[in-house]
Chains A and B, each alone.
Chain A
Amino acid sequence: MSDEKIRVLIAKPGLDGHDRGAKVIARALRDAGMEVIYTGLRQTPEMIAEAALQEDVHVVGLSILSGAHMALVPRVIEQLRAAGLDDVLVLVGGIIPDDDIPALQAMGVSAVFGPGTSTDDIVRFIRSAVQLSSP
């Protein structure tokens, strides 16, 4: 009777004040049957790691439009590791120049989704990357 769901934390680190994109993604993932914890604007890396731990998510999706991704992402990943969450999948969405993608991946980001990405692609990526543990 086990009933497992993919759980995703959607967070906006940094100071930019737009969360429309993040909300669109959150709803798309919900419509794909996932449980999405939405944490809102201006999350610090510590807050993101703490929420990821408490909510026991499979995926942390970071929405970053401010251009500060090269500074923010490593700090989030560091905090996730410090919390023992090495196995959580980290995705980054937003305005990310192609040139930065290899460096982000080297930091431990599993995938980067630019503004043009279809939500179907994101859903497909998460489904293939997350294996639900059998009970």
Chain B
Amino acid sequence: MSATSSEQTLATAVLSGDRRALARLITRVENRAPDALEALAILHSHTGRAAIVGVTGAPGTGKSSLVNALALALRRRGQTVGIVAVDPTSPFSGGAVLGDRVRMVDLAGDSGVFIRSMASRGSLGGLAATTGDVVRVLDAAGFAVILVETVGAGQSEVEIARMAHTTVVVDAPGLGDEVQAIKAGILEIADILVVNKADRPGAQNTVRTLRAMLELGHRLRTGGHHGVRAVAAAVQAEPVFDSWTVPVIETVATEHKGIDELLAALDRHQAHLRETGEITDRERQRVEAELLARLREALLARLLAERPPEALEKTIQRILRRELDPNTAVRALLEDDLSSPDGKG
């Protein structure tokens, strides 16, 4: 059933609301099947309408429970919801147990919701390399809001901030000191902070700590916390302080408490993005970062295809033998100069 239908048919079926086609196209995108690129190209002009919300935070803080409650509240307002929930791939086996759906049972049986679990497949930033493309497929499929739950890593999760319009960072009381240390980094990406498990002892403490940390930090409107400008760093404009005040919201996701407040904060943030024009800035930054990443990947693939198949391995061996330093090796590979006396394999 899978190999017969063309990607064009699949893309058209996705646009017409066919859920099976949507699921199958997501798989093709995840697998980086070459013809999925064609489908993505068709869908591109239909994207850009969804509000993309990232939900990140340390393991077990209640991200999935919160996504469940939030999606339910969005559905009550009549908005359709696409959900992408990422869990880690085991580095040993390449397999994964994806368990986020367990907390999302309230959404079962609702055709206005589509939930997809994704394995990170070796990516380290809390998402899979193809999560952005999967979000775009859901966007094209017409979901009004897309909730993206990251791997509960609690570290270096700038990728979600880059992809989402609004990033919700979830914390919970009683997580131990290591997590405290991590917070500084993850706070920088938060547009909204949630202290979930507010029914647990210590919640007030967590709220106070977060508020104190927020007051220490200054947020820059452009570049700054999405620091992904590999090339264009020099053309950075004058830093502008963000007028958005990060709210700290207490929730009990399992009892659906605090969800209306969270929803109101999301609405306020979306309005803020539009009023300040930051939505365009973010979009631009995302497109730039993605373009550069894709370009990097394509250039690398092209370069390696142009060199003899053994060139990379030979170079690695020579660096290991200390015959060549990595910078010279890069220049030699770029200039195809591995056969020079200096670069002889």
Contacts and interface: CB of A to CB of B under 8 A. Distances in A.
B20 A4 contact: no
A56 to B, nearest CB: 4
Contact of A50 (B27, B33, B34, B109): B109
Given A46-B109, A47-B109, A87-B1, A38 B33 contact: no
A128 interface: no
Interface in B217-242: none
Interface in A7-29: 7, 26-27, 29
Contacts of B34: 1-2, 135
B193 to A, nearest CB: 28
Interface string A21-62: 000001101111111111110001011001101111000000
Interface size class of A (residues with CB under 8 A): 35 or more
A30 B90 contact: yes
Given A26-B97, A34-B95, A35-B98, A54 B114 contact: yes
Contacts of A50: 108-109
Contact of A39 (B23, B24, B35, B102): B102
Interface residues of B, number: 35
Given A31-B90, A34-B95, A54-B115, A83 B20 contact: yes
A134 B32 contact: no
B97 A30 contact: yes
B326 interface: no
A51 B98 CA distance: 12
B31 A135 contact: yes
Contacts of B334: none
Most chain-A CB neighbours within 10 Å: which of B93, B102, B117?
B117
26 contacts: A2-B32, A2-B34, A4-B31, A5-B119, A30-B90, A30-B95, A30-B97, A31-B93, A32-B93, A33-B94, A36-B96, A38-B97, A38-B99, A38-B102, A39-B101, A40-B99, A47-B108, A53-B19, A54-B19, A54-B23, A54-B115, A54-B116, A133-B2, A133-B3, A134-B3, A135-B35
Given A40-B105, A47-B108, A54-B115, 8 more contacts: A2-B33, A5-B31, A34-B95, A36-B95, A40-B101, A55-B116, A83-B20, A135-B34
